[in-house]
């Protein structure tokens, strides 16, 4: 089955700096890669996703890049703000077989004002 590894487990940045979180996956059949943000006491919320036919996707201060050859994808947050502080999860899934997301172990991002 799929295995997703996520790094770093914690990340502290100064407000205004950029933050990068990296994930690798094992199943070459995976073709959908979402990123979720989880705030304390709440369920995860989708912030951006990318499909395997695209190498990069941007949405305002958030971008995701995908390298299918190397089987890794990354989340980039620019101009970080204190409200970006949360736990971020990457995930991967194929569109065939078990169509369920496999999540990484999460990155706790702390943005220092």
Partner 1 sequence: GAGVSQSPSNKVTEKGKDVELRCDPISGHTALYWYRQSLGQGLEFLIYFQGNSAPDKSGLPSDRFSAERTGGSVSTLTIQRTQQEDSAVYLCASSLEWTPSYEQYFGPGTRLTVT
Give the residues lining the site for partner 1 (CB under 8 A).
6, 32, 34, 36, 41-46, 49, 51, 89, 91, 93-95, 98-106
Tokens of 97: 């077989």
Tell the smallest beta-carbon distance from residue 11 to partner 1 (Å). Answer: 15
Q: Give the burial class of 62: count Cβ atoms within 10 A of its Cβ; 0-12 exposed, 13-18 middle, 19 or more buried.
A: middle
Of the two residues 50 and 77, which places its CB atom closer to partner 1 in the complex? Answer: 50
Tell the smallest beta-carbon distance from residue 56 to partner 1 (Å). Answer: 17
How many separate helices (H) and strands (E) can be counted in the chain?
0, 11
Of the two residues 36 and 73, which places its CB atom closer to partner 1 in the complex? Answer: 36
Give the DSSP H/E element, type plus range, for residue 102: strand 102-103
- HSE value, Cβ hemisphere, 13 Å, CA-based, for 79: 3
CA 23-39-18 angle, 5° bins: 50
Of the two residues 17 and 59, which places its CB atom closer to partner 1 in the complex? Answer: 59
Of the two residues 77 and 106, which places its CB atom closer to partner 1 in the complex? Answer: 106
Tell the smallest beta-carbon distance from residue 16 to partner 1 (Å). Answer: 28
Tell the smallest beta-carbon distance from residue 99 to partner 1 (Å). Answer: 5
């Amino acid at each position: 089955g799929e295995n997703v590894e996520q790094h770093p487990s914690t990340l502290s940045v100064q407000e205004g700096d950029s933050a990068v979180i990296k994930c690798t996956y094992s199943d070459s059949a995976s073709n959908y890669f979402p990123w979720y943000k989880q705030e304390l006491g709440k369920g995860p919320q989708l912030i951006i996703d990318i499909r395997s036919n695209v190498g990069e996707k941007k949405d305002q201060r958030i971008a995701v890049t995908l390298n299918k050859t190397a089987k890794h994808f990354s989340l980039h947050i620019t101009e970080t703000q204190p409200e970006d502080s949360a736990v971020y999860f990457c995930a991967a899934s194929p569109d065939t077989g078990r169509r369920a997301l496999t999540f990484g172990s999460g990155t706790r991002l702390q943005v220092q004002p």
